[in-house]
Amino acid sequence: MEPPTAEAVLRGVYTLYNDPNNAEKEKASKWLEEFQKSIHSWQIADELLQQKYDLNSCTFAAQTMRNKIQNSFHELPEAAHESLRQSLLEHISHITLETKSVIVTQLSLALADLALLMSSWNKPVATLLERFSSNINMMYALIELLTLIPEEVNSRHLRLGANRRKEILIDLEADSTLVSEYLTMCLMNGNESELLRSKILKCFTSWVQINAFKLPEISDSMLIVYCFQLLSNATSSSELHEAATDVLCSLLHCMELNNARGGLDDKLFNGILCLEEAYNISVAQEDLDKSMNFSRLFTVLVECNLTRMVAGSDADTPHYSTKALDLVLNCVGHYDYEVAEITFNMWYRLSEDLYQRNNCPLTAHFKPYVERLIAALYKHSQLDPDHDGLVEEGGSFKDFRFKVSEIIKDVIFIVSSISCFKQMFLILQSANVSWESSEAALFIMQNVARNILPEIMELGERDIPTARFNQLCEESEVVPKVVEAILNLPDNCHIAIRYTSINILGELCDWIDSNPETLQPVLNFLLCALQQKNGLATAAANSLQLICSACKKHMLGHISGLMEIARCLDSFDIQTDSAIGLLKGISIIIGRLPPNQLTPAMQELCSFQVEALSRLTNGEDDGLDGKKGRNDPAFWLDRLASIYRHVSSPDRNNGPNPCTLVIVNNWNVLSRALERYKNNSKVMERIVRCIRYAIRCIGKQAMPILEPLVKQIITIYSGHNHSCLLYLGSILVDEFAHEDGCTQGLLNMLQAFIDPTFVVLQMENGLKNHPDMVDDFFRLATRFIQRAPLQFLQSPLVTPIIQCGLLACTLDHRDANISVMRFFCSLLRQDRDHDLQLIVKSILVTHGEALIMNLLYASVFCLHSYMLSDVAEVFVEIKQHSPHQLQEYVKKAADTLPKKNSGGSVTVTDEQMVQFVANVVNSETSRATTQVLQDFARLYR
């Protein structure tokens, strides 16, 4: 853009905030956005801050300065860093108590980021304290600066690099005493300003979080004492209460990280234990915010002691820190379930630790706590007595009950599912039990029902005392009583009880399989529920699916009833996903039929979907009852795909597959669907998914439809670049590439796909904007390497595909990048015969250096850390061929990387570079190589 003037920027800001014309606002917004990206914005933002024209222009200028330092610091030469620092210090020095907080924050962020980036600025914290600490009017601004500097140390935007970050942290640790003294002085002289005191505590927290303080040195800190005073005082404001909680939680995390035990540890533990009364007062005063703060604090206290709480307990005596669980359980018992929810992750961590140790006496110490947890969750799960209907979908209570389900499944092994099942059953048998209590008990039972059978079966395998064995057997007898009670529910019971009872039957599917005498009455009950409305039919469908999946052998005798259900499926009030699930269950049973029965059953099951789909593809959307979704082809395609996927006939490639006739006969409808909906990407994905499962179902016996299918998808892809067609191509390669006479035709298909694919990917930001296409294309190429390596590698197609892969190395899309890396790994693994070895070596000589260059650049500057494991696989494969080549390529690639960052600090030393190359070459596994790449990337991040 042309060099703008300060006046032009002022006009743009005025238009953005004041012009009533939305079109002009939008135009001004885009112009200002482009201005902020330009090199000229540095100087003009500085001018606007000096002019102080109005609030909006100062805010915009401060935001611009902060944005430029964070994202475009490389634009400034090192010689300009000092003048920028002086300018920002000058702007900061003019802040008064009347300066708007947004301007203070943006300017402080800009200066804090500059302090971290600018390597020539030694001791920035000491400089700021020396310059501003004596000015009482600068107290707020200085505390803001001191808060932001440690907070920004780990900012992803700044890309400080590990060396610079380590250097900064050493400086901050050295200055931490000065900061602590300044904050203490501010606290003592801060009058009664709650805002200032809150900022002081937030600043202290930010320094604790980066581990800047030596914990023994702050064990007697007045700031910590003040936090306990605030938490003990029922009249403390919510903001101060939360800030004090943050301080103590940060200290606990810091101690856990450093495994620091001693004076401060004991003071915090005992001090927090003494806050139980303060928590009780917050409950009595119905101060939910404070109760949530206490719940968070107590939970963190347990979490930071969790390792020694478990490891330090012996067979007879639990560790003393276990008493903190009482505080947490007190919070779980709070009247508001949001307070209980805060503790859930802690229970998960505890259960994981106990499960890994598999120590029964140790686990027994925690059984009473888990029993209390489940009892509290049972109460929280109760609906309101006057609630009509089911739990509202999408509501916060529905979400909470889902989390309760997950946490119960995590911890139930500590108390045993059978024992929990029995306890809930006793509640159901209580005199005058309310409907909401019954429903909540059933809900808890639903979440442990799946574990009942495994526990019963395990009883016979374990060497346990006779009394305990008899007790467990007695408890297991509760299950038939529960099933009987469910099957005999009165007609007038609350709908929520009936709904949860239906779900329990589904969860008891394995138990029903072991007790087949219960199957018929259960099916009768569920069939009746299928004909209900208001969610009961959907629950019944879900339970039927589970029973079909678990009771395959026994359900064969009920196939006629299942087919009748399929015929009447659209008359039931069932959600779409549940209907598809029910078809899955029926399909599983059909797949176990003898071949002479399987074919007609599958044909009939498919016909309900195919006939409707046929009418749609012929433009006849009448006759579908006009119901919601019936005239959407995806509605029928998803059902058909579920059938194809789950009718699994054994030995599909040995002898005629009974599914083949059905699938081949239905091909014309799917072919017409491909042609009719080729402009609709979402429907095309559903069609391809359906064809994929059809091909997988019958394998090479789909040969009659292979040629017409390939021709059709080539034609469609040339005009409509649906990446799902590339995915379908990979399925065809997987199934048919090893068949005589098919390989060349499939290579021709790949050739036809390449040109339109590359046209899209070579556009500006083509790779970034089309990750699905990258994913599916390289999945297709990988299938060729796996199924027809010699023919593929000898074809002229391999070179342009490799070149495209080199460009795609930097794509930071998880699935797409995995497919690219797997392509290269598969390529390099082809050493099964001499011809393949020669081809791979030739490829490595031609493209190896560029591949390592791009992979290393991507690892450092483009990819997320968790994606580097896939990159490491490629390094390992290259090493398998030639460690010397790998060493040479890595050294050359590393030498091209910058040795200094934009702030002038050393990013990577010569010693670190040499060590990196050696570590890559010497790493024996992909896991070790991943760690090497992650460590090296941190030097630049």
Q: For residue 239, give both structure tokens.
A: 């903001």
Neighbours of 400 (CB within 10 A): 19
pTM value surpassing 0.85 = yes
Q: What is the DSSP string of 371-426?
A: HHHHHHHHHHTPPPTT--SSPPTTSHHHHHHHHHHHHHHHHHHHH-HHHHHHHHHH
pLDDT of the residue at 297: 98
**Mean pLDDT of successive 10-residue stretches along the chain, which has 941 residues:** 85 91 91 91 91 89 93 90 93 87 93 95 95 91 96 91 95 96 91 88 97 91 97 96 98 87 86 97 97 98 94 86 96 97 97 94 94 97 94 92 96 93 92 94 96 71 57 72 94 94 96 94 96 94 96 94 94 94 96 94 95 90 57 95 89 76 96 96 97 95 95 96 97 93 95 97 96 98 95 95 97 97 93 82 94 97 96 95 93 94 90 96 95 96 90
Contacts of 131 (CB under 8 A, 6+ apart): 89, 93
Q: How far apart are CA 227 and CA 245, in angstroms?
A: 7
Residue in 62, 59, 82, 78 with CA at minimum distance from that of residue 70 = 62
Identify each DSSP E strand in 204-330 by its residue range: none
CA 547 – CA 543 distance, rounded (Å) = 6
Q: In the prediction, which pLDDT does 743 show?
A: 94
Three-state DSSP state, 811:
coil
In whole angstroms, give the CA distance from residue 774 to residue 763: 13
Nearest to 325 by CA among 343, 341, 339: 343
Three-state DSSP class for 349?
Answer: helix
| Amino acid 257: pLDDT | 87
Query: CB 596: neighbour CB atoms within 10 A?
Result: 8
What's the pLDDT score for residue 464?
A: 56
- Model pLDDT, residue 814: 96
Residue 906 gets which letter from DSSP? Answer: B
Helix axes 519-530, 559-567, angle to 10 degrees: 10
> For the packed helices 452-459 and 417-428, what is the interaxial angle rounded to 10 degrees?
120
- Interhelix angle 162-189/194-209, rounded to 10 degrees, is 150
Neighbours of 3 (CB within 10 A): 10
Closest CA to 889 of 856, 840, 927: 856
Distance CA 232, CA 244 (A): 11
What is the rounded distance in angstroms from the CA atom of residue 45 to the CA atom of residue 479? Answer: 73
C-alpha distances out from residue 532 to 528, 535, 539, 624, Å: 7, 8, 10, 22
The three-class DSSP label of residue 900 is strand
Would you state the pLDDT for residue 651?
Answer: 55
Please report the pLDDT score of residue 447 as a whole number: 96
Helix, strand, coil % in the chain, rounded to nearest 5: 75, 0, 25
- Give me the long-range contacts of 179-186 (CB less than 8 A, separation at least 24): 179/125, 179/129, 179/146, 179/203, 179/207, 179/212, 180/204, 180/207, 180/213, 180/218, 180/221, 180/223, 182/129, 182/133, 182/142, 182/146, 183/143, 183/146, 183/223, 184/221, 184/222, 184/223, 186/139, 186/143
Contact between 659 and 698 under an 8 Å Cβ cutoff? The reply is yes
Q: Which two tokens stand for residue 632?
A: 């959407």
Q: With 0-12 CB in 10 A as exposed, 13-18 as middle and 19+ as buried, what is 560?
A: exposed
Q: Which pLDDT score, from 0 to 100, does residue 623 have? A: 45
At residue 369, the pLDDT reads 97
Residue 814: CB atoms within 10 A of its CB come to: 15
CA distance 751 to 885: 32
Buried/exposed code over 450-463 (b: 16+ C-beta within 10 A; e: otherwise)? bbbbebbeeeeeee
Query: What interhelical angle do 360-380 and 344-357 show, nearest 10?
Result: 150
The pLDDT of residue 53:
86
